[in-house]
A and B are shown apart, each in its own frame.
Chain A
Amino acid sequence: MRKFWAVVKREYIQRVRAKIFVLMTILAPAMMGFFAIVPSLIFNMQTGGPVKIAVVDQTGRIYQRLSAVLKEPYEPSDLKQEVTELQNANLDKNLKRFSKNGGTNIVLEEVRPDTTPIAAIQAELERRVKSKDLDGYLLLPADLMNGGEPILFSRNTGDLFTSRQLRDALSRAVNAERLGEANIDTVTISKLSKGIELQTVKAGAAAGERDSGEAFAVVFAAGFVMYLTILLYGQVVLGAVIEEKETRIAEILFSSIKPFTLMTGKLVGVSLVALTQLAIWGLAFAAFAVYGVSVLAERGVPVNIPGIPLINFFFFGLFFLLGYYLYSTLYAFIGSMVTTPQEGGQLAMPLVFLLLIGFYFFLPVSRSPDSTFSFWVSMIPCFAPVTMMVRIVTQTPPFWQIAMSLLIGFGTVTLLIWIASRIYRVGMLMYGKKATIPEVWRWLRKA
């Protein structure tokens, strides 16, 4: 036991003291913040002047409405905010924010077709687009009201920002016009068509504890942090095993301690490093939730941090350990089979995919956490850390399910450690070439 703790201590102290650990502990939250904030900042960046669009209105009625709609604050037409359309939802949100700040950046110019043939008008507009006098022109067919398709000729077809805004504004203008045609009073229309906003409140939550997206952020963060830390620390174990093999320390170690003791000591040591890091992040988050939010609120920046039950942090720790031990044992196994970090990286690819698949499951699971699919996927050990955690955060399953998932998981881990330690000893002492699968199978049977 003393030898085991010596290995644990060595792994822990050497790693926690390393610059990379300190750096990662500080940088990781900063980086997550960076990725959360910077894209929206960039989306909001407007380089160059306003977008000039000429509108050839062959209906003769839509232009006024369109330009009026564009002057209103932007409201995305599609409020469904499908989770799978995260990116789009994001864009819409940014569009919304942008138009709130300064209205639209689209400048319209009306071109009346009158008697000029449409081809001639188009040719003239094409010329102006080419000479950069215009950024594009919108062709509204005469039968627009009856299903005719408007076409946007744009110099920059990649400008989603503009095309989306135009599409939404146009469809609203056309709708309004159609309703007007049906002799419905516009005031009544706006009253009748006033959108509602759906508020999501977690069932059982205290009244007034509103939830507008933050809970989703928590689910996402839980899944993502889980995925990332398991991957990260799995790689640490892989590196540690390969180092001992590459530098030939293994032989001296094996002459002093049992391979099983060495391997488990290493796994435990690195897991403590990971828990230390997670604890630091958790405390930083808590400190922010308690002090940071109130300070920001005083300065007029409202930040809404949803209440996370403390037990969830505990579950996070448990499921992290499950995922960590599962994947790290496999990483250790791979590390003992290869001779260089490069080979290790290649052989470990399937593990990364497996982890990634588990991470992707967080979407379907977060949508229906109590479905049969969610149940089974949270019982499979290699997916359980992310999926069960997502279930716990969204809609805590009955305790027996959590317990069962943990039981199956840690049972699998025990089995894996038993298998891996058998192969570990032989693999670690084999220098010069990568082990083949039949060889590994033979070691396993003989050990």
Chain B
Amino acid sequence: MTEDNSTIQLINVRKSFGDFTAVSDLSLSIKPGRIFGLLGPNGAGKTTTIRMIVNITAPDSGSIKLFGRTIDPGLQDRIGYLPEERGLYRKMRVVEQLRFFAEIKSVSRKDVDARIDSWLSRVKLSEWKNRKSMELSKGMQQKIQFLMAVLHEPDLLILDEPFSGLDPVNVELLKDIVLDLKRSGKTIIFSTHQMELAEKICDDICLINRSRKVLDGSLRQIKQGFGRNAVALRIEGDGSVLNDPALVRNVEHHSDELEVLLAPDVNGQVLLHRLVAANVKVTKFEMIEPSLNDIFIEKVSEAA
């Protein structure tokens, strides 16, 4: 944990409320330009961790560094935060609302309106600009809240369950924006318990459960670490090669394909060679990776 270029660095952070420990001994390093998934079941300590990062609460012990500096209120302007618990002023017009939130993030007055217009059109809400927020549907409100987090072009964007309750079209829309922001060099923390989504967009993840870090690293490494050495296979011809116990430990027959669990010390390459040598036609050959969901469930139930 010595990378100096980390956007965020948490070292042995601890936070408790009375007798309840929300975060214990958490160390994290989040690298710039990546999407970092903060994953964990409900009540694991994700929101508390985020609140400490955005300087809403302070850790009991440990240190937090943002952009290489100890956090202070001034750094808050460089963070965009979409909390899980979120809302809008009901009786305020959308444009005024956005202007206000831009203002408290120190966006200069002359830039604000142009930015608001371009963002509103990007999330297809331009015609709602002058409506009061209570007239908006829940999904629309959520998009406005998302804009509140990105309008000031933060270097660090923290999204806590940003897609919950959105329809698939809007999920795609926001996901594209998030990926765009990543491409432009922003660091993004994405907190969720929806593993399918995290799997699609995260580069790195950290899994926390019951206030403790269970697992962290790049998504690829983690998945490899959990590799079950299995292959999804569809073949035409004589499949007797698969009966060799030195090569294959088990075969599961699905509707139109096979799930082949390889023997220890055998990799996919060897199996493919043998199949080709046996003159079998291979129409599908894919190493099966465990889904993040599987890893999540395994890790969480392991700890229980």
Contact = CB atoms under 8 A, between A and B. Distances in A.
What DSSP secondary structure best describes chain B's contact surface?
loop
A253 interface: yes
B142 to A, nearest CB: 12
A14 B100 CA distance: 11
Contacts of A246: 87
B106 A247 contact: no
A29 to B, nearest CB: 26
Given A251-B83, A255-B76, A243 B89 contact: yes
A61 interface: no
Interface string A7-27: 100100010001000000000
B92 A2 contact: no
Interface in A418-439: 425, 429, 431
B101 A256 contact: yes
What DSSP secondary structure best describes chain A's contact surface?
helix
Contacts of B56: 251, 254-255, 425, 429
Contacts of A14: 89, 91-92, 96
A255 B79 contact: yes
Contacts of A252: 81-83, 86, 101, 145, 148-149
Nearest to A258: B73
Given A252-B101, A255-B76, A256-B76, A431 B85 contact: yes
Contacts of A6: 100, 103-104
Contacts of B82: 252
A389 B105 CA distance: 42
Interface in A221-247: 243, 246-247
B178 to A, nearest CB: 18
A201 B88 CA distance: 58
A178 interface: no
A249 B103 contact: no
Interface in A1-60: 2-3, 6-7, 10, 14, 18
Contact of A255 (B55, B87, B88, B92): B55
Interface in B33-71: 51, 54-57
> Range of interface residues on chain A?
20 to 34
Interface centre among B100, B104, B149 (most CB of A within 10 A): B104
Contacts of A431: 85
Contact of A248 (B73, B81, B86): B86
> Range of interface residues on chain B?
20 to 34
Given A254-B56, A255-B81, A249 B89 contact: yes
Given A254-B56, A258-B73, A248 B87 contact: yes
B90 interface: yes
A403 interface: no
A445 to B, nearest CB: 13
Nearest to B93: A14
A68 interface: no
A257 interface: yes
B284 to A, nearest CB: 48
A249 B100 contact: no
A10 B92 CA distance: 10
Contacts of A7: 104
Nearest to B106: A2
B90 A243 contact: yes
Interface centre among A7, A247, A255, A442 (most CB of B within 10 A): A255
A251 B73 contact: no
B81 A247 contact: no
A248 B106 CA distance: 21
Given A248-B85, A248-B86, A255 B106 contact: no
A6 B83 CA distance: 21
Contacts of B104: 3, 6-7, 253, 256-257
A301 to B, nearest CB: 43
A241 to B, nearest CB: 13
B72 to A, nearest CB: 11
What 6 A-B pairs are tightest by C-beta distance, nearest first? Answer: A247-B87, A6-B103, A248-B87, A248-B85, A255-B81, A255-B54
13 contacts: A10-B96, A14-B89, A14-B96, A18-B91, A247-B90, A249-B89, A251-B56, A251-B85, A255-B54, A255-B83, A256-B105, A429-B56, A429-B57
Interface of A: 2-3, 6-7, 10, 14, 18, 243, 246-249, 251-258, 425, 429, 431, 442
Given A252-B145, A255-B56, A257-B104, 11 more contacts: A3-B104, A10-B92, A248-B83, A249-B89, A251-B83, A252-B148, A252-B149, A257-B73, A425-B56, A429-B51, A431-B85
